[in-house]
Amino acid sequence: MDLSDSPAEAAFRAEARAWLTANRPDPPLPSGDTATGFALHVEWERMLFDAGWSVVSWPRRYGGREASLVEWLIFEEEYYRAGAPQRVTQNGIFLLAPALFRFGTAEQQNRLLPRMAAAQDLWCQGWSEPEAGSDLAAIRSRALRDERAGGWLLSGQKTWTTRGAFCTHLFGLFRTDAQAPRHRGLTYFLVPLDAEGVTVRGFGRLDGDEGFADVFFDDVFVPDDAVLGEVDQGWHVAMATTGSERGLTLRSPGRFRHTARRLVHLATTRGDDLDPLLADEVVQGWMAAEAYHLFTLRQVTDMLEGRDPGQASSLNKLFWSELDVRLHTTALELLGPAGELDGPWSRGFQFALAGPIYAGTNEIQRTIVAERLLGLPRK
């Protein structure tokens, strides 16, 4: 396989690199999980949109460039290479949008996608509840049909809602048939957070950032066009969303290749004092990041040839989440006592620890791989 860029891909890479180099914020923006930082990140997102870099793989009518999947991977690689800001629009453009393209009506796509790309509507994910974490089918939030008004009344609570304190809209599952089996009777709703009856309560994380939120719904009315996909068929839409969350859409290889390069650079600053065992960990981490890159290229090839990755996204999630912890653990070991100070590596380590938990715990992902990919018995 020829892994080098084609002439068109090389030109795309050069254009992306030049723009990002010229326009990335310097100094870097504060955390997008704080109120001040989030507002600055939204300005950056709108700058990306105005220049045509917000959603490069989308159709032009929605603000994209109609870039290929390979070109999207190239952009992601150049984005992280440039040290550009985190994407606070990621839950919309990387998670909800693929589901909208697949299950949304033409009206929903035309109404929602341009505003999403332009960072006018900012989406958070309403999955977890107090009694439903990785067991998504255990959700209790409900939606009752309101025939006279032609819509639904939503009630319940979502928690651990990333950037929910700052976003304008939420997508999530609500139970529309309480008598149906666990994985049925669920419907996927799109909800404006300024709707009457919605209460958003932000709360701080361990690192002090306040972007998390509890979101409460008290008979919140939404019209029928707030349903994505079919009523009572929300599980299928949600599984498409989780496939994006666990797969290459949310965590492209460019993110981890950049971290691996930073780790190699950190190791070189240690000179002759570098412990041989740590040196080996650095090399192993770099090799793993490159292996993830090659793995995703194979997935892209499958997708271009019409093969859906399906449950293989669980393999992605296992690999990138454990790789992220490994790279940051090695960095802290290289830093020694200085690694306990607040800084990019310590912050990155704290966030990496969440990787094996969010998007479905790695224990759940191993069960999926065992049963659905390897065909092993349930017991």
Residues facing 330 on adjacent strands: none
What would the two tokens of residue 275 be?
């412990």
CA pseudo-torsion sign 52, 252, 305, 3: positive
DSSP string, 24-85: S-SSPPPPTTSHHHHHHHHHHHHHHHHTT-SSTTS-GGGT-----HHHHHHHHHHHHHTTPP
Q: DSSP state, 372?
A: I
- Distance in angstroms between the alpha carbons of the first and the last residue of the chain: 40
- C-alpha to C-alpha distance for 236 and 124, rounded to whole angstroms: 19
The residue annotated as part of the active site, out of 245, 333, 363, 371, is 245
What would the two tokens of residue 264 be?
């190699």
Of 217, 238, 199, nearest to 153 (Cα)?
217
Query: Is 245 a catalytic site residue?
Result: yes
Active-site residue list: 245
